[in-house]
Each structure stands twice: as structure tokens, then as C-alpha cells.
Chain A
Amino acid sequence: MKDKAERCILYVPVFNRRAIASESLTNLRTVKGAAHLCIEDDASTEFDGTLFADLGDSYIRHPSNLGIDATRMAQLEAFLASPFDHCYFTDSDTVHDPEFLSRLFQMLERTGCVSCLYNTSTGYHKDQFNIDVGDDIVLRCSIPGVSMFFDKPLAARIWQYYQDGLRFRPDFLKEQRSWDWMYCDVFPQVAFSRVSFVEHLYAGGLHAHGRDAAVNPTPYLIAEGARLRRKLRLYGPGAPIAESARPGRVSP
């Protein structure tokens, strides 16, 4: 397991949301084992410099804001050119179970599909046709988004689809609602773990407020989710507006 983990890179983009990002990255740092954690700050405006540099094995701060679509495609390209064998995309508002990586390897080896540890029953995942393949894994056509694990052959197929789109379809980028929809276009089935090994604390107000909380979370996620909810006071719709972003306030 250690050998495989050493050849795995975890990409986590950061943009503002300092308090939750700090907790999320600290958690990932603690549970990632030998995997390489690459943190990319997409030119945050609420803090500067290298706030989270110590938490990553590598740290990149963009000189200007690229947005999540461009950031993810750049990460995909970087992974394909890297010595790593496996890649995991996640967000900076998550909590991961200590066993998340071994579960990802198990799922990918079992199914050969892009694998996701965040199981939900609402939103885009609602009313999906699930194919049960055993080991508490289901295949469904859905958006892995916050938890996405793949190897180089899978990454190459996405990259090819992206390149072909840019080359042959003038409206390609306009057609794409966001970067992770491309995975649905390319892969009719994504492997989802019935037991969630990731909690997504908030994203636009959809997540972890009872409607789109992780289904069947591990005991670790239940305990950590409750601790963070109370510590960070996560009861509202998404991330609160930072004081520095309010009209008349001055950025640090």
C-alpha cells in the first residue's frame, strides 16, 4: 500500500475560505499517508503569501485567478506528464477518513472506473440507476466532483476528449457546464462507494446540510463532521461572506 501511495498525487485547489480550508488541508495532511499532497492557491484575495505551504508536499500560488475549470485541466495535464501513477482530485472543504486511499485503490482495481468516495442521495445523484458490483460499490452515471480518483489511462481519455473538443467543436467550452461534467461525457459509469469516506462540508450551500450530506459516512466522518460543524459553525447556506469582502471593508 505504501508503494502505491507514494506514486499517488492529491490535488487540492484553494480559493479563500480560510477557516474551512485550514481544517480540511490539516485533515488531509494527517490521513494521506505516503501520498503526495499538492496544494494550489488560485490567487486567494482574503489572505496572501504561502499560508498553507507547510501543509503540502508541494505548493503553488497562481499569480492571478484561473478559476476551477482551468485549474483542474492544468492539473490533469501536469499529472499526465508526472512520474505519478494515480491522481486524486478533491476540494478544500472536505473531511477524509484515514482509510480513504486504500478504499480508492480497492475500488479502482475492482471496477477500472473513475472512483468516488462521496455517496449522496440527492441532487445530481438522485434517482440514479445503480449497478451493484459488490464490495459496497455501485456504478452510476453521475458527477464524482469532490472526490475523483483515476489512473493515467483514465486521465488520458479525459485529456483527449478535452483536446478534441477544443480542436473540433467551436462551442465546446461554452457547452461544458463545468469541468467535472466532462467526466460524465467520457465515462458512462463512475464507481461510488456506498460507504462515504469523504464529507463535503459546503459548496454553494448544497452540501452537508441534511439534503446532500454524505450517505453512510464512516464513524470517523461522523465524529469529525460534528466537531467541525460546531467549531466552524457550519449551519448556513455555504460559505459566509468574509468580513474583508463586505462593502467598505479593507482587504488584509
Chain B
Amino acid sequence: MGTLADFDLRHLIADFSCAHLLVLGIADGRSLAEALRHDFTRILAVEPAHPIALEAALRHASEPRLTVIHEPVERGLERALGELPKQSPALFWLDLPPLERQLRTIAAGRDIGRDILIIDDLNLHEDGDYEEEPADDAKRPRDRGRKSGLIDGFLAGSHELQRFRRRGGYLMALPAGGGK
């Protein structure tokens, strides 16, 4: 399980004018807590599991920048996309299965050319030499190897893709040619 703390959020926000964050999957809450330490003007967190959503909402109740959306993934994502300003670059933290549907929904909902996307637990989606294997092997899609081109298919045309070995693997998609 990864965390946003592995990324240089301060400079991502500054260099890409990335003031909004959309978190898909709160998990243990570490990424959300890390995000709240930084200068995002708005954070939207979609969480389908009720106990996790409730815990996060209560823990950060005094934080006006944060909205926790407790909905099934796709519906919650559509709602969150509707609340994001279209013209302002956003950072997406993708930490929920199934990835393909999330990418389709995001791409259909906005022009992502200036957005940054970070995919956690890349070992669930692509073969590779990562620090960690999936904790629950059953979560790994059977056709992971065949689908290794999935992310490239969505993002390679508009973004520069960086993959990292750290923990279960990350993919970070930065706007091609973007940034200050």
C-alpha cells in the first residue's frame, strides 16, 4: 500500500498550479492526512466503504477544504468530477480497483491534459520489479500481463509516464510539456 507522502506534493502543486486533489480510495488515511498538510485549496475524497469514509470525515471534521464522498466508486467519481473546476489543473490519487473504469470515467468527465494522475499499487495492474508484491494475491487481475498497455493507451498521448519500484509500485502521469 502506497502513500502520497512518497511524492513531492509541495513542488507538484507549485510547478503545475495543481490546487485541487481528488482521492479515489482513502484506505488507511495516510495519504489524506499527508495531503492536508499541503496547500491544496480543495480536496475531494471518494470512498465506497462506509466505515472508512465515516472515520475520515470525523477525523478531519474541522478541515473545511475536505469533502468525503461516500458512494460507489463510479457514482462518487462522477460527483467529484462535477465539483472540480474545469479550468484548474487537478491531482488524482487512484487507489481503488477497477482502474480501467476509473480512467474512462475521468477521461470522459474532463480534459485531463493539464492534470496529474498517480496510480497506487501498480503491481495490481502491470508486471514489474516492484519492492512489494500484492498483499492479497486474489486482488491481482488474472490478465494483468495482457493489460499492461492499458494505462499507456489512456495517458501516453497526453502525459509523460513515470513508473516507480517503491512499495507496490506507482505510476505518475505528468502533463507532457507542462509545468513551469
Partners in one complex: yes
Name B's interface SS: mixed
Are A230 and B128 interface neighbours, CB within 8 A?
Answer: no
Contact for A234 among B8, B126, B145, B160, CB less than 8 A = B8
Are B180 and A235 interface neighbours, CB within 8 A?
Answer: no
Q: Is B101's beta carbon under 8 Å from chain A?
A: no
Residues 229-246 of A contacting B (Cβ, < 8 Å): 229-230, 233-241, 245-246
Complex CA gap A205/B167 in Å reads 11
Contact for B179 among A210, A230, A236, A246, CB less than 8 A = A230
Q: Is B79's beta carbon under 8 Å from chain A?
A: no
If A246-B163, A248-B148 touch, does A237 touch B7 (CB 8 Å cutoff)?
yes
Q: Is B132's beta carbon under 8 Å from chain A?
A: no
Q: Is B172's beta carbon under 8 Å from chain A?
A: yes
Residues 186-239 of A contacting B (Cβ, < 8 Å): 205, 209-210, 229-230, 233-239
Are A209 and B8 interface neighbours, CB within 8 A?
Answer: yes
Complex CA gap A240/B145 in Å reads 20
Chain B residues within 8 Å of A230, by CB:
15, 179-180
Q: Is A247's beta carbon under 8 Å from chain B?
A: yes
Chain B residues within 8 Å of A245, by CB:
129
Are A241 and B174 interface neighbours, CB within 8 A?
Answer: no
On chain B, the number of residues with a Cβ less than 8 Å from chain A's Cβ atoms is 25
Are A209 and B162 interface neighbours, CB within 8 A?
Answer: no
Q: In this complex, what residue of B is CB-closest to A248?
A: B148
Chain B residues within 8 Å of A234, by CB:
8
Are B164 and A235 interface neighbours, CB within 8 A?
Answer: no
If A230-B15, A245-B129, A246-B128 touch, does A235 touch B160 (CB 8 Å cutoff)?
no
Q: In this complex, what residue of A is CB-closest to B167?
A: A237
Are A235 and B129 interface neighbours, CB within 8 A?
Answer: no
Are B8 and A210 interface neighbours, CB within 8 A?
Answer: yes
Complex CA gap A205/B6 in Å reads 7
Are A205 and B8 interface neighbours, CB within 8 A?
Answer: no
**Min C-beta distance of B149 to chain A, whole Å:** 9
If A240-B163, A248-B148 touch, does A233 touch B174 (CB 8 Å cutoff)?
yes
Q: Is B40's beta carbon under 8 Å from chain A?
A: no
The interface of chain B, by Cβ under 8 A from chain A, is: 6-12, 15, 126-129, 145, 148, 160, 162-166, 170, 172, 174, 179-180
- Can you list 23 A-B pairs with a CB-CB distance of less than 8 A? A209-B7, A209-B8, A210-B9, A210-B10, A230-B180, A233-B160, A235-B8, A235-B11, A235-B12, A235-B15, A236-B162, A236-B170, A237-B7, A237-B166, A237-B170, A238-B164, A238-B166, A240-B162, A241-B163, A246-B163, A247-B127, A247-B145, A248-B148
The interface of chain A, by Cβ under 8 A from chain B, is: 205, 209-210, 229-230, 233-241, 245-248
